[in-house]
Chains A and B, each alone.
Chain A
Amino acid sequence: MAVSALNTSHEAVAARYQNVDGAYAEQRDMRLMGFVLFLISDVVLFSAFIFAYLYLRNSVPNWPPINKDGVQLPRFDVAFAAINSCVLFGSGATMHFAMENWKHLNKAAFNMWMLATIVLGMTFLGGQAYEYHSVQVTWSGSTMGATFFTLTGMHGFHVLVGVIYLIVLYIQANRGVYTGSKYFGLTAGTLYWHFVDVIWVALFYLFYLM
């Protein structure tokens, strides 16, 4: 049962993960299922608003529409959002690296990649703030603005919560709360962060490319 702490191969990672006491494994399985179900219900929340966006978009003859002041609204500018999207997707990759390193017991590398993820996440939020400043739609002027700000705002809120969560995880990990075999909080954080990423894939397509 004793696995050398210095053995960081894939087999050692798997062995450490499997070789926890039964009570913990059960609890971890339950928490994982609960967390995944929570993410599914969150997907439904976004889906409801995405439905609203598609429905409203289809119920007017032209898109972008004319806003309440009679101004023809332009399409959103793709280029900046494209870069910001890469920032967010990149943070997903760095999060993945952070987890890989954690599992292989490389604390220093884990810390570095976690910080990178947090910084990229905050950069994305900054980019969104800039985007909000530079778009011509307003929240109350048209359904284009309504759906754009509500959906990206909800997403941005999820990113903000995620960044805070990642900061907490970083601190907890460095205080020794997680070990090489028991690290459910980190797993949950990774799944949540990837989820936030994937929602953005959908929003990027729907608002900027469609």
Chain B
Amino acid sequence: MAVAAAHAGAVGHHDHIHPEPEGFVAKYIFSLDAKVIGVQYMIAGLLFFIISGLLAEVVRIQLLTPGGAILKNDAYNGVYSLHASGMVWMVVIPMMTGGFGNYVMPLMIGARDVAFPWLNLTAFWMFPVAGVILFSSFLIGAPDAGWTEYPPISVQGPPGTTMWCIAIFLIGISSTLTGINFMVTIFKMRAPGMTFTRMPLFVWAQLATAMLNMIATTALAGALLALFLERVFDVPFYDPARGGSPLLWQHMFWFYSHPAVYIMILPAFGIISEVFPTFARKPIFGYKMIAFSSIAIALLGFMVWAHHMFTSGMAPWLQLPFMILTMVIAVPTGIKIFSWLATLWGGKIDFQPAMLFALGFLVVFTFGGITGIFLSAVPVDLHEHGTYFVVAHIHYVLFGGSIFGAFAGVYYWWPKMTGRMLDRKLGVWHFWTTFLSFNVTFLPMHWLGLLGMPRRVAQYRPEFQFWNDVCSIASFVLAASTLILFYNLATSLIRGKRAPANPWHARTLEWTVSSPPPYYNFKTIPAVLKNPYNFGEPLPYIGLTLAEEEEDRLPKPGPAVPAHS
């Protein structure tokens, strides 16, 4: 068969196994191995998650009382600005793309590494440097205009705003390079026989994300460069007195930042698309729909940026087209949600922690998506822009979406990455405390916003205090619940049960190698015959060199839940 022949005679750069790197530095610090780089991204991302999360807790402490006891207004502004900037650029984007993408994607396509390992290494090291620059801005006066840094406040803002520009510019370069790297990897390094429609959905998600990363980020670089020049060299882009326009920043910033939210959520969609079939023991429903909707979301994501600007004073005729396009994005997203539901329907659900977080994601992200539709309607947005309704929406889609998806990914792939199992009971506790405290934290923010509480305020009207206290106390529980996860991770590393190659009996290629995989991923690159989701059939790969102990633990052909077409 042509595919087998292609495999048997497989030549090419990526079929050659390089000698193993030697020495601690080459193996763990400046490693060219995408898996090691992926872990490094996740460690750095976790550190920045803790810092940014603590900043959020400072916000919630401040908002316990209407008078806002603990911080001066300027300091408070810096706290929420860096909370959000850190979470967006130093946690979610790097972990979803550089972290999960680097580790899992090459394994899933049957490659030994990414296309440009040196570029990967360079792009990684920009990340912790950028993070340090960002959070060091506290020392000289943190940026104080939110993560969106609108001029004129950002032009006149504290010195830390310039550091913010530099930090985000640096992480932007890193993202762009990673996007290019992943695109070439996915286009050129798939195993023989793996056509695009036989690719796992996580890879489709990373492809769409890489496209966004590559194109959108340089637009942000332009906006940041202009802000930097205006602050440091007094070059007028945004200064109305010399012909500039604050709206220019908003257009340039949001042209990147709206695709950025899709960069943050698409990998999570990809993780969910892997977790659901595995733990429902059923093929994913609507594989092609989910795959193409990822690309559709990426493309449409470029056309909706001005829905962040309905109240900005931009030309009124722009409102209607952007409103309609924003509502249209709900269609491919909705297709995914219904496909996931249909995947669960009639399945034999295994309530592992990864699955719990995936189910929680489904509930919470859908909710956040719906409030997004609310906000897309111009008349509603005119009232709710800049209020806590938006804060609620953001956190439902970003925490409930991206972070829940990331948690699901951690529980799913931790055995593969570390060779150790996580404790299931702790995982269940982590899920329920997170899910419940998350909802108690962020649900009241919807009506706080509707009642008129603005966002980014250090003090508020006394009638809002009760719900703010509810949010704050619940957020302390939410923060504490993360400790359950950290404890689980730590004890798993020290004394966790050894993980087999395929603890979840999943079917994508990363589960055919040992846990953790050897540095070269695959002894022989397999050939691929079908997409990986047909539970109940034999694995669709030829030429695998399986981990010996896994021979008899693979899914056997036999009765299983019938596949939907």
Interface on A for B, CB 8 Å cutoff? 22-24, 26-27, 29-31, 33-34, 37-38, 40-42, 44-45, 47-49, 51-52, 55-56, 59-60, 65, 67-68, 139-147, 149-150
Contacts and interface: CB of A to CB of B under 8 A. Distances in A.
Given A30-B184, A143-B242, A52 B237 contact: yes
Nearest to B14: A26
A200 B219 CA distance: 19
A38 B180 contact: yes
Nearest to A143: B243
Contacts of A146: 229, 235-237, 242, 244
A143 B236 contact: yes
Nearest to B252: A48
A45 to B, nearest CB: 4
A52 B248 contact: yes
Interface in B343-400: none
B310 to A, nearest CB: 18
A150 B184 contact: no
B115 A34 contact: yes
B339 interface: no
Interface in B196-243: 214-219, 221-223, 225-226, 229, 233-237, 241-243
B62 interface: no
Given A143-B237, A146-B244, A41 B13 contact: no
B187 interface: yes
A152 to B, nearest CB: 13
B11 A22 contact: yes
B481 interface: no
Nearest to A66: B243
Given A40-B214, A150-B225, A150-B226, 15 more contacts: A23-B13, A23-B16, A30-B116, A34-B116, A34-B180, A34-B184, A37-B183, A40-B215, A41-B217, A44-B216, A68-B242, A140-B234, A143-B244, A146-B242, A150-B235
Contacts of A37: 180, 183-184, 214
A67 B235 CA distance: 12
Contact of A41 (B11, B215, B233): B215
Contacts of A139: 233, 235
A142 B217 CA distance: 27
B316 interface: no
12 contacts: A24-B13, A33-B188, A40-B214, A41-B218, A44-B219, A48-B221, A140-B233, A140-B242, A143-B236, A143-B242, A146-B236, A150-B235
A84 to B, nearest CB: 23
A23 B219 contact: no
Given A41-B218, A45-B221, A56-B237, A26 B188 contact: yes
A45 B222 contact: yes
Contacts of A49: 222, 226
Q: How large is the interface on B (under 10, 10 to 19, 20 to 34, 35 or more residues)?
A: 35 or more
Contacts of A55: 245, 248, 251
A101 B247 CA distance: 51
Contact of B236 (A23, A26, A27, A140): A140
A59 to B, nearest CB: 5
A140 B183 contact: no
B243 A142 contact: yes
Nearest to B240: A59
Contacts of B219: 44-45, 47-48
Contacts of B242: 67-68, 140-143, 146
B243 A56 contact: yes
Nearest to A65: B243
Contact of B218 (A48, A51, A65): A48
A34 B185 CA distance: 9
B109 to A, nearest CB: 14
B170 to A, nearest CB: 15
A142 B115 contact: no
A49 B181 CA distance: 25
A30 B188 contact: yes
Contact of A68 (B180, B214, B241): B241
B537 to A, nearest CB: 31
A48 B188 contact: no
Contacts of A150: 225-226, 229, 235
B252 A51 contact: yes
Contacts of A59: 243, 245
Contacts of A56: 237, 243-245, 248
B223 A48 contact: yes
Nearest to A43: B218
B162 to A, nearest CB: 17
Nearest to A52: B248
A31 B180 CA distance: 10
Contacts of B218: 41-42, 44-45, 48
A140 B235 contact: yes
A147 B244 CA distance: 10
Nearest to A153: B229
A41 B180 contact: yes
